[in-house]
């Protein structure tokens, strides 16, 4: 029996397919209507809303700006009031569709804002994750959110790499930092955009990380992305099967 909530963070170099894989995973997990899923776009470069077919109206950054404005205007005088209004703002920022809720971190402007938004995101995850069965976090590229312990609540780390040495090196660093800073012990690596079995065998032989699966290059993913279409409209295909197998392996790993 899986503990609840299962919180999966998707991490890796930019462009390796984190957002695509997050969206496919959300699609797969939300197929069972009895499950409650929260999808979080934690990448300030934003993008997860497109393959999920969701329109973002309010982000974590907007919530933060609202709060600052209210504090400046003296509208919120005590901490209880502030927390109450934060809860309200948060629920108004959740985009909901059937058993799926979505939240985006947004793109903070100005220096020093991003770490504050990350701190707020961490509190939000802590506050609301318990209302869901699965939380999928599409992380920013690199290790910043891991090293700042934004991912502290994460139960499973899904590392994504392409065939490049750069991609493979970054996931090794992320895994190490995640273990040291966030005590995340369960992690699995997916090799994405693979050309063929020969390439899969070659890259797998070069990593010591636990590999939970490999996904071949698929023009359908690229085309849907190009058109900004929802991945919920994709017909079942090999990529979805490959991802399903990988996620099952990750979730059943000790």
Ligand X SMILES: Nc1ncnc2c1ncn2[C@@H]1O[C@H](COP(=O)(O)OP(=O)(O)O)[C@@H](O)[C@H]1O
Q: Per-residue x/- marks for ligand X, 77-116, CB under 6 A? A: ----------------------------------------
The entry of Mg ion, ligand X, none that residue 20 binds, CB within 5 to 8 Å by partner kind: ligand X
Exactly one of 149, 225, 229, 232 binds ligand X (CB under 6 A); which one? Answer: 225
Residue ranges in 37-56 that form contacts with Mg ion under rule CB under 5 A: 43, 47
106 binds Mg ion (CB under 5 A): no
- Residues whose CB is less than 8 angstroms from the CB of residue 146 and which lie 6 or more positions away in sequence, other chains included: 9, 11, 139, 174, 177, 178, 181, 182
Chain CA centroid to CA 218, Å = 21
Q: Per-residue x/- marks for ligand X, 148-167, CB under 6 A? A: --------------------
Tokens of 101: 């809720």
Question: Shortest Cβ distance from residue 61 to ligand X (Å)?
Answer: 19
Question: Shortest Cβ distance from residue 52 to ligand X (Å)?
Answer: 12
- Cβ proximity to Mg ion, 18 vs 193, nearer residue: 18
145 binds Mg ion (CB under 5 A): no
The entry of Mg ion, ligand X, none that residue 66 binds, CB within 5 to 8 Å by partner kind: none
239 binds ligand X (CB under 6 A): yes
Question: Shortest Cβ distance from residue 167 to ligand X (Å)?
Answer: 9
192 binds ligand X (CB under 6 A): yes
In the 3-class helix/strand/coil scheme, how is the chain assigned residue by residue? CCCCCEEEEEEECCCCCHHHHHHHHHHHHHCCCCCCEEEEECCCCCCCHHHHCCCCCCCHHHHHHHHHHHHHCCCCCCHHHHHHHHHHHHHHHCEEECCEEEEECCCCCCCCHHHHHHHHHHHHHHHHHHHCCEEEEECCCCCHHHHCCCCCCCCEEEEEECCCHHHHHHHHHHHHHHHHHHCCCEEEEEEEEECCHHHHHHHHCCCCCCEEEEEECCHHHHHHHHHCCCHHHCCCCHHHHHHHHHHHHHHHCC
17 binds Mg ion (CB under 5 A): no
Q: Per-residue x/- marks for Mg ion, 220-239, CB under 5 A? A: --------------------
The entry of Mg ion, ligand X, none that residue 221 binds, CB within 5 to 8 Å by partner kind: ligand X
The entry of Mg ion, ligand X, none that residue 225 binds, CB within 5 to 8 Å by partner kind: ligand X
57 prior amide bond cis, ω within 30: no
Q: Which residues are at the interface with ligand X (CB under 6 A)?
A: 14-20, 47, 192-193, 215, 217-218, 221-222, 225, 239
């Amino acid at each position: 029996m899986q503990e609840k909530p299962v919180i999966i963070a998707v991490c890796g170099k930019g462009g390796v397919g984190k957002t695509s894989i997050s969206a496919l995973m959300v699609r797969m997990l939300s197929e069972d209507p009895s499950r409650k899923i929260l999808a979080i776009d934690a990448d300030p470069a934003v993008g997860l809303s497109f393959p999920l077919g969701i329109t973002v109206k309010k982000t974590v950054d907007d919530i933060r700006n609202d709060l600052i404005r209210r504090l400046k205007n003296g509208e919120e005088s005590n901490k209880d009031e502030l927390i109450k209004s934060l809860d309200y703002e948060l629920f108004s920022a959740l985009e909901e569709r059937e058993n799926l809720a979505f939240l985006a971190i947004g793109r903070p402007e100005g220096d020093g804002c991003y770490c504050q938004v990350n701190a707020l995101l961490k509190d939000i995850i802590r506050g609301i994750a318990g209302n869901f069965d699965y939380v999928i976090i599409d992380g920013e590229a690199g290790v910043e959110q891991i090293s700042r312990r934004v991912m502290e609540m994460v139960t499973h780390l899904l590392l994504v790499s392409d065939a490049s040495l750069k991609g493979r090196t970054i996931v090794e660093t992320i895994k190490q930092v995640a273990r040291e800073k966030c005590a995340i012990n369960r992690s699995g690596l997916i090799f994405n955009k693979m050309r063929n079995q020969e390439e899969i065998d070659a890259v797998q032989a070069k990593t010591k990380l636990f590999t939970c699966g490999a996904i071949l290059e698929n023009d359908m993913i690229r085309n849907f992305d190009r058109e900004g279409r929802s991945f919920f409209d994709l017909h079942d295909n090999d990529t979805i099967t490959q991802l399903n197998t990988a996620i099952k392996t990750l979730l059943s790993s000790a």
